[in-house]
Structure 1
Amino acid sequence: MLDRFQAQSLDNDWHWQANRIRCALAPDDPWLLERFVSLSSQHFRHGRAPAWRAQEVVFRLLLDTAADQALPWHWRCLCLDHAYRPLWALRSLATDTSSRKRLQGLQRRLSSLVLLPSLDFHEPQEGMQRD
Protein backbone atom coordinates (compact mmCIF):
# COMPACT_ATOMS: atom_id res chain seq x y z
CA MET A 1 0.00 0.00 0.00
CA LEU A 2 1.15 3.53 -0.71
CA ASP A 3 1.92 6.00 2.02
CA ARG A 4 0.10 9.34 1.96
CA PHE A 5 2.86 11.19 0.09
CA GLN A 6 3.15 8.50 -2.60
CA ALA A 7 -0.63 8.38 -3.02
CA GLN A 8 -0.85 12.15 -3.41
CA SER A 9 2.05 12.10 -5.86
CA LEU A 10 0.34 9.37 -7.91
CA ASP A 11 -2.92 11.35 -7.93
CA ASN A 12 -1.18 14.55 -8.98
CA ASP A 13 0.79 12.80 -11.72
CA TRP A 14 -2.36 11.10 -13.01
CA HIS A 15 -4.28 14.38 -13.18
CA TRP A 16 -1.36 16.19 -14.80
CA GLN A 17 -1.00 13.49 -17.46
CA ALA A 18 -4.77 13.60 -18.10
CA ASN A 19 -4.58 17.36 -18.65
CA ARG A 20 -1.59 16.98 -20.97
CA ILE A 21 -3.61 14.55 -23.07
CA ARG A 22 -6.88 16.47 -23.04
CA CYS A 23 -5.23 19.77 -23.98
CA ALA A 24 -2.72 18.19 -26.39
CA LEU A 25 0.17 19.80 -24.53
CA ALA A 26 2.58 17.26 -26.02
CA PRO A 27 0.95 16.23 -29.31
CA ASP A 28 4.22 14.85 -30.69
CA ASP A 29 4.68 12.44 -27.78
CA PRO A 30 2.58 9.31 -28.44
CA TRP A 31 4.19 7.61 -25.43
CA LEU A 32 2.23 10.00 -23.24
CA LEU A 33 -0.84 7.87 -23.95
CA GLU A 34 1.01 4.68 -22.96
CA ARG A 35 2.23 6.26 -19.73
CA PHE A 36 -1.26 7.50 -18.90
CA VAL A 37 -2.83 4.08 -19.42
CA SER A 38 -0.10 2.58 -17.22
CA LEU A 39 -0.63 5.24 -14.55
CA SER A 40 -4.36 4.53 -14.62
CA SER A 41 -3.67 0.87 -13.95
CA GLN A 42 -1.47 1.82 -10.99
CA HIS A 43 -4.18 4.16 -9.80
CA PHE A 44 -6.75 1.42 -9.32
CA ARG A 45 -4.22 -1.25 -8.33
CA HIS A 46 -3.23 0.88 -5.35
CA GLY A 47 -6.82 1.51 -4.37
CA ARG A 48 -6.95 5.13 -5.54
CA ALA A 49 -10.02 4.47 -7.71
CA PRO A 50 -12.28 1.51 -8.45
CA ALA A 51 -11.15 -0.41 -11.54
CA TRP A 52 -14.35 0.26 -13.50
CA ARG A 53 -14.25 3.97 -12.79
CA ALA A 54 -10.56 4.30 -13.68
CA GLN A 55 -11.01 2.56 -17.04
CA GLU A 56 -14.19 4.49 -17.86
CA VAL A 57 -12.49 7.81 -17.08
CA VAL A 58 -9.60 6.89 -19.40
CA PHE A 59 -12.03 5.92 -22.16
CA ARG A 60 -14.06 9.12 -21.84
CA LEU A 61 -10.91 11.25 -21.78
CA LEU A 62 -9.58 9.63 -24.95
CA LEU A 63 -12.91 9.88 -26.76
CA ASP A 64 -13.52 13.49 -25.71
CA THR A 65 -10.03 14.39 -26.85
CA ALA A 66 -10.53 12.63 -30.19
CA ALA A 67 -13.75 14.59 -30.76
CA ASP A 68 -12.24 18.01 -29.93
CA GLN A 69 -11.86 19.92 -33.20
CA ALA A 70 -9.55 22.48 -31.62
CA LEU A 71 -6.79 19.88 -31.21
CA PRO A 72 -4.34 18.68 -33.87
CA TRP A 73 -5.70 15.97 -36.14
CA HIS A 74 -2.85 13.50 -35.55
CA TRP A 75 -3.30 13.76 -31.76
CA ARG A 76 -7.02 13.16 -32.05
CA CYS A 77 -6.38 10.06 -34.18
CA LEU A 78 -3.85 8.73 -31.66
CA CYS A 79 -6.37 9.13 -28.85
CA LEU A 80 -9.01 7.36 -30.90
CA ASP A 81 -6.55 4.55 -31.67
CA HIS A 82 -6.00 4.02 -27.93
CA ALA A 83 -9.68 4.17 -26.91
CA TYR A 84 -10.13 0.42 -27.35
CA ARG A 85 -7.73 -0.36 -24.49
CA PRO A 86 -9.92 0.75 -21.58
CA LEU A 87 -12.95 -0.82 -23.30
CA TRP A 88 -11.07 -4.09 -23.51
CA ALA A 89 -10.27 -3.88 -19.79
CA LEU A 90 -13.91 -3.12 -19.00
CA ARG A 91 -15.03 -6.32 -20.77
CA SER A 92 -13.54 -8.42 -18.00
CA LEU A 93 -15.11 -6.18 -15.35
CA ALA A 94 -18.63 -6.37 -16.83
CA THR A 95 -19.92 -9.22 -14.70
CA ASP A 96 -23.57 -8.27 -14.25
CA THR A 97 -26.38 -7.06 -16.51
CA SER A 98 -26.06 -3.45 -15.45
CA SER A 99 -22.34 -3.22 -16.16
CA ARG A 100 -22.74 -5.07 -19.48
CA LYS A 101 -25.37 -2.53 -20.56
CA ARG A 102 -23.09 0.28 -19.50
CA LEU A 103 -20.25 -1.25 -21.51
CA GLN A 104 -22.52 -1.57 -24.55
CA GLY A 105 -23.34 2.14 -24.23
CA LEU A 106 -19.63 2.99 -24.21
CA GLN A 107 -19.02 0.73 -27.22
CA ARG A 108 -21.91 2.39 -29.03
CA ARG A 109 -20.42 5.80 -28.25
CA LEU A 110 -17.11 4.73 -29.79
CA SER A 111 -18.70 3.18 -32.87
CA SER A 112 -20.90 6.20 -33.57
CA LEU A 113 -18.25 8.87 -33.06
CA VAL A 114 -18.02 11.19 -36.04
CA LEU A 115 -14.65 12.86 -36.38
CA LEU A 116 -14.98 16.29 -37.92
CA PRO A 117 -11.84 17.91 -39.30
CA SER A 118 -9.70 19.90 -36.90
CA LEU A 119 -10.12 23.64 -36.98
CA ASP A 120 -7.62 25.46 -39.12
CA PHE A 121 -5.97 28.36 -37.34
CA HIS A 122 -4.57 30.84 -39.80
CA GLU A 123 -2.93 33.85 -38.26
CA PRO A 124 -2.29 36.80 -40.52
CA GLN A 125 1.35 37.32 -41.27
CA GLU A 126 3.00 40.10 -39.35
CA GLY A 127 2.56 43.47 -41.03
CA MET A 128 -0.35 42.42 -43.23
CA GLN A 129 -3.63 44.31 -43.11
CA ARG A 130 -6.64 42.47 -41.72
CA ASP A 131 -9.95 42.84 -43.53
Structure 2
Amino acid sequence: MNGSFSHHNRAVVDVVLRYKIRNAIQPDNPALISQWLALDSCPSYYHLHEQQKHYEQQFRFLLDTIADELLPGHWRRACLEQIHKPMKALSQITYRKPDIKHLGELYDELRITCDYVSGSLNRSTG
Protein backbone atom coordinates (compact mmCIF):
# COMPACT_ATOMS: atom_id res chain seq x y z
CA MET A 1 0.00 0.00 0.00
CA ASN A 2 2.83 2.44 0.77
CA GLY A 3 4.29 2.03 -2.73
CA SER A 4 0.93 2.73 -4.36
CA PHE A 5 0.33 5.75 -2.12
CA SER A 6 3.82 7.07 -2.87
CA HIS A 7 3.30 6.61 -6.61
CA HIS A 8 -0.05 8.42 -6.39
CA ASN A 9 1.49 11.33 -4.47
CA ARG A 10 4.30 11.59 -6.99
CA ALA A 11 1.79 11.69 -9.85
CA VAL A 12 -0.19 14.44 -8.12
CA VAL A 13 2.96 16.49 -7.50
CA ASP A 14 3.92 16.03 -11.16
CA VAL A 15 0.54 17.35 -12.33
CA VAL A 16 0.72 20.32 -9.95
CA LEU A 17 4.26 21.21 -11.01
CA ARG A 18 3.33 20.95 -14.70
CA TYR A 19 0.38 23.27 -14.10
CA LYS A 20 2.53 25.78 -12.21
CA ILE A 21 5.22 25.72 -14.89
CA ARG A 22 2.96 25.91 -17.90
CA ASN A 23 0.95 28.79 -16.43
CA ALA A 24 3.85 30.58 -14.67
CA ILE A 25 1.97 30.41 -11.37
CA GLN A 26 5.19 31.12 -9.42
CA PRO A 27 7.26 33.06 -11.97
CA ASP A 28 9.83 34.06 -9.37
CA ASN A 29 10.59 30.42 -8.55
CA PRO A 30 12.48 28.97 -11.53
CA ALA A 31 13.61 26.06 -9.32
CA LEU A 32 10.17 24.55 -10.02
CA ILE A 33 11.41 23.61 -13.49
CA SER A 34 14.42 21.70 -12.15
CA GLN A 35 12.24 20.05 -9.52
CA TRP A 36 9.79 18.90 -12.16
CA LEU A 37 12.54 17.56 -14.42
CA ALA A 38 14.04 15.65 -11.47
CA LEU A 39 10.65 14.26 -10.43
CA ASP A 40 9.69 13.40 -14.00
CA SER A 41 12.86 11.43 -14.63
CA CYS A 42 12.52 8.53 -17.02
CA PRO A 43 12.67 5.08 -15.41
CA SER A 44 15.62 3.04 -16.66
CA TYR A 45 13.40 0.01 -17.20
CA TYR A 46 11.52 1.80 -20.00
CA HIS A 47 12.26 0.47 -23.45
CA LEU A 48 14.35 2.74 -25.66
CA HIS A 49 11.36 4.00 -27.66
CA GLU A 50 9.46 4.82 -24.44
CA GLN A 51 12.47 6.73 -23.11
CA GLN A 52 12.74 8.72 -26.34
CA LYS A 53 9.03 9.52 -26.22
CA HIS A 54 9.32 10.59 -22.57
CA TYR A 55 12.17 13.03 -23.21
CA GLU A 56 10.48 14.40 -26.32
CA GLN A 57 7.34 15.07 -24.26
CA GLN A 58 9.43 17.00 -21.74
CA PHE A 59 11.03 18.95 -24.58
CA ARG A 60 7.65 19.79 -26.14
CA PHE A 61 6.18 20.85 -22.79
CA LEU A 62 9.04 23.29 -22.20
CA LEU A 63 8.98 24.46 -25.83
CA ASP A 64 5.25 25.22 -25.58
CA THR A 65 5.91 27.24 -22.45
CA ILE A 66 8.78 29.13 -24.10
CA ALA A 67 6.55 29.96 -27.07
CA ASP A 68 3.66 31.25 -24.94
CA GLU A 69 4.03 35.00 -25.28
CA LEU A 70 1.38 35.60 -22.61
CA LEU A 71 3.81 34.37 -19.95
CA PRO A 72 6.53 36.59 -18.45
CA GLY A 73 9.72 36.68 -20.51
CA HIS A 74 11.95 35.81 -17.56
CA TRP A 75 9.87 32.66 -16.92
CA ARG A 76 10.09 31.57 -20.52
CA ARG A 77 13.87 32.20 -20.45
CA ALA A 78 14.07 30.00 -17.34
CA CYS A 79 12.38 27.21 -19.34
CA LEU A 80 14.80 27.83 -22.19
CA GLU A 81 17.71 27.46 -19.78
CA GLN A 82 16.40 24.00 -18.78
CA ILE A 83 15.33 22.62 -22.15
CA HIS A 84 18.82 21.26 -22.74
CA LYS A 85 18.24 18.59 -20.09
CA PRO A 86 15.66 16.49 -21.95
CA MET A 87 17.49 17.17 -25.22
CA LYS A 88 20.78 15.91 -23.77
CA ALA A 89 19.07 12.82 -22.35
CA LEU A 90 17.43 12.20 -25.71
CA SER A 91 20.69 12.61 -27.61
CA GLN A 92 22.38 10.07 -25.31
CA ILE A 93 19.89 7.36 -26.35
CA THR A 94 19.63 8.20 -30.03
CA TYR A 95 21.50 5.74 -32.26
CA ARG A 96 19.52 4.94 -35.39
CA LYS A 97 19.62 7.21 -38.45
CA PRO A 98 15.88 8.01 -38.41
CA ASP A 99 16.10 8.91 -34.70
CA ILE A 100 19.18 11.07 -35.29
CA LYS A 101 17.32 12.86 -38.09
CA HIS A 102 14.34 13.41 -35.78
CA LEU A 103 16.62 14.79 -33.05
CA GLY A 104 18.00 17.27 -35.58
CA GLU A 105 14.43 18.27 -36.44
CA LEU A 106 13.73 18.92 -32.75
CA TYR A 107 16.80 21.16 -32.53
CA ASP A 108 15.60 22.98 -35.65
CA GLU A 109 12.17 23.41 -34.09
CA LEU A 110 13.77 24.89 -30.97
CA ARG A 111 15.89 27.27 -33.05
CA ILE A 112 12.92 28.40 -35.17
CA THR A 113 10.69 28.89 -32.12
CA CYS A 114 13.37 30.92 -30.35
CA ASP A 115 13.91 33.04 -33.47
CA TYR A 116 10.17 33.66 -33.67
CA VAL A 117 9.72 34.68 -30.02
CA SER A 118 13.13 36.27 -29.42
CA GLY A 119 11.68 39.79 -29.20
CA SER A 120 9.28 38.87 -26.42
CA LEU A 121 11.90 36.73 -24.67
CA ASN A 122 14.26 39.67 -24.49
CA ARG A 123 11.67 42.24 -23.48
CA SER A 124 12.01 43.18 -19.83
CA THR A 125 8.95 42.66 -17.68
CA GLY A 126 7.71 44.77 -14.84
Q: What is the percent sequence identity of the aligned residues?
A: 29
- Greater helix share, structure number: 2
Using the alignment, how far apart are the partners of 1:47 and 1:79 within structure 2?
Answer: 27
Give aligned pairs, total.
116
Alpha-carbon distance, 1:48 to partner: 8.1
Normalising by structure 1, we get a TM-score of 0.78
Q: Is the 8 A contact 1:52 1:90 kept in 2?
A: yes
Alpha-carbon distance, 1:74 to partner: 0.6
For the pair 1:96 / 2:96, whether they are aligned, the reply is yes
Q: Is the 8 A contact 1:40 1:55 kept in 2?
A: no
Normalising by structure 2, we get a TM-score of 0.80
Give SS of 1:112's match: helix
Runs of 4+ in 1 over 3 A off after TM superposition: 46-50
Using the alignment, how far apart are the partners of 1:6 and 1:25 within structure 2?
Answer: 25
For the pair 1:21 / 2:21, whether they are aligned, the reply is yes
Q: Which residue of 2 aligns with 1:5?
A: 5
Unaligned runs of 5+ in 1: 119-131
Alpha-carbon distance, 1:54 to partner: 2.2
With a CA cutoff of 8 Å and minimum separation of 6, indicate the structure with the bigger relative contact order. 2
Unaligned runs of 5+ in 2: 122-126
Q: Is the 8 A contact 1:14 1:40 kept in 2?
A: yes
What is the 5 A alignment of 1:1-131?
3-41=3-41, 44-45=42-43, 50-113=50-113, 114-115=116-117, 116-117=119-120
When Rg is computed on C-alpha atoms for both structures, the one with the higher figure is 1
